[in-house]
Structure 1
Amino acid sequence: MTVCAIEPPSTGTSDTSGAPGASRTPGAGGTTGAGGCVPVAGCVLTADGAYAARLALDGDSWFPERWTLDGPEPYAVPLPGHQPEEPGTEVQPMGDGRVLIHRLVERRHAFALLYPTGPGTGELPLGAVECPEPGTRLTLLPPAPGGARAYALTVGPRSSVVWLVAGGASGPERLAEVPGLCSGGVWLDGAGRMLALDRELGGRTKTVVVDLERGEVTPLLQIAEDSDDRLLLADRDSGLLLISSDAPSPGRPRVGWGVLGSTLPVRFPECLRVPDCTVTPFAVQPEQMLMPESCAVALRVDGAFGTWLGVWRPAERLMCHLPAPEGWLRGAGLLTRDGVLRLPYATGDVPCGVAELTAPRSGTRGRGAGAGQLEAADAARPEGRAEVGPQGPVRDGAAAGPPGASRQATETDPPEPVAARPVPLQQAPLGGLVTK
């Protein structure tokens, strides 16, 4: 796929990996930002966006809550157990509306499926995974396509193991062991067979693919020998890949994009660098067959002054910055085939809601069913914070950030042409990935 990367002329010294005030948690099993950290998400959505699940708070008590999102109006169903859940307990929606819960008791990881039963909550135990070795951690992997199965990842001192924890014949099933310390988790096919993981081995992080049927592990992304390369998102319809790598700027991870199986280089747009902020892609427009450059990508931007949204397309050398709706469950959302961004949110007045806006194109501002809510959220910002999320497009080389950030180029003041500097890269063996 990749022979070289073209680094655009730099117009600033931004570094998206260390934004002060960003909500980040190191760990595995989530969508990572440019720095390899996991921004905390408010809830988890199924791959098709029909259901969501989160851990909600009632006074001092935490309980699972399922959201139904594919009907005329979204609604929430509480699923409390016999006792409150521990903070940080993982939940994940299944395709049939049940909710998988992962509870930790000492070194025993127990799994169960929750479902509503009239006024109460039914619970189907699925078994447990024992992690006797000190330092071993277990996290749920992102929801698999189809929603019939759920997977988990254990990370020990020397290797990582992928487990099937829901949807199997009987109890958790060990599927594949991967040498090294793995994190992330991106599904590459619609069958839930090819799983990409970011593996740390020998002091460097590279993305590998695990064939869950054969248990085989093969390289996927290795841009340079001395770079840390992670896969953030993948769209199987268009082949669009969102990547984090420090290959173009050693020690400073940047968000880039490529196409699965393409001979074109990975590109690192300057507009995806926001000063003193962490930029994390969380949704890609689906069903854009063979048109990766036209896919809308939704991004979460975390900085010292708050969190807002970005919408970007590879074909357009700009990113539109938009305020997040009030109560957005940060990091959660999806794009429809028509480019509508759906964002779940919860407020005191609306405990279960979905804001919608049409992903804007060059020179436009997103509008849609939820545009009024987004504009209302913008108007409700405290005085002095109106510039947190720039309103409108920002071109390459002019990624705006918090008030006072340097803006050396704008639409009316383009940067002077500078010769692009090639960065030597290794061949990334993406074209060899075949699903039978």
Structure 2
Amino acid sequence: MMNNTTAYRGNIFYFNDTASLENLPKHKNDTSNQYVYIEDGILIVKNGKIDGVGSYATYKDKLSDIKVENCGTKLITPGFIDTHQHSTQSSIVAAYGEKLLEWLEDYVFPGERIYADHDCALKDMTFFLDHLLRNGTTTAVSYGPLFYDASDLFFAELNKRNMRFITGNILMDINAPATLKLSTQENYDISKKLIDKWHNKGRLSYCISPRFALATSEAMMELCGELKKAHPDLYIQTHLNENTNEVKEVKKLYPWSKNYLDVYDHFGLITDKTVLGHCIHMLDEELAQIRDSGAIVSWCPISNNFLGSGLFNYERTLKFTDKITLGTDWGGGNSLSMFAVMDDAYKVSMLNNQKLPSMHRWFLATYGAAKTLQIDSKVGNFDKGKEADFIIIDPDASPFLKYRRRGVEDIFELLFILMTLGDEKIINSTYIMGECAYRADK
């Protein structure tokens, strides 16, 4: 392999391997060493992997034969990880005036039908992936299309871009329009074909993706459980306790269940590789089951606010589990920016009379997500040998951020104003395995 080495000079921030929600610092006077912040640092990338990181003063005499990209005072940091999004819903973002179940019927299902057409599917998913990279997200857990051809195309596009992605065809066999509903066996057969073709190919992982309990029959759930038994390393994603009317309807459809989570657990779908979107209206026994199973919570504050679904209680959830992550829920969420997600997480916490520190939110969107998804040996920080998925943030690209950060003296305040005032316009560039996948000036 050709030796392809580049050094990036700028301010550098990332979390150490030992960082956790329990030991992260809450303010600048906390002496925790769970993060690294280097002003005027160097990140060395060799053949798509991290080869070194440290201060420029330490490395400057070792850079004579290495190309150096001078990023000035820009912030170099690992790419964001979005743990809940719908790749097929770009065309219905910002749909007015409905809550979850009505919104699905009136907007989502009609919008997702375009994926039956190859050209429409390719155009839509290309826009989605370009926009994702523009927002600095390098890894995601994502719901793919229902149809095989579109799902196969989605995997192919992701593989071409060399992205680390966890996705699968969305599964629906009941309570959906005829044009967007497949038989139980058809859903299963498509899943099998995609698993055989794409799971663990390149940087891709297949994810069993029943939309939610109201759209999947008991027979479909059973087949999902069979897929997991046959392929224990598969991920699972679904929705849980997003909306109070949804919870009531689930109880009607599955009267034998102890609670909403029990529907999935009954079929063997609650595991340490299961990502549960929303988790707002949770019973204590459900949170205890999440704790005991090691399942992953994906908090989606933008979507919850937009659809009026409710306020996620971070501190209550944290008493049961630290496997909490953040998702845009693109579709219901009206932004693919993890800055916006982290900002809304702060506001929701304030409405719950809770303070959510800057470090904690950034952790949930980066290394914390990598740890919960069990991909922290691959991505999430700048340890030597990890895949070089990173972003370069330019606060000065926003006139107000440039003005506001005058006098900012520590990384805590810098992260806070980035999360509060930032958006895709301050993402200068996004790198996938050391290759530039997006640059603002191109």
Greater percentage in strand: 1
> TM-score, length-normalised on structure 2?
0.28
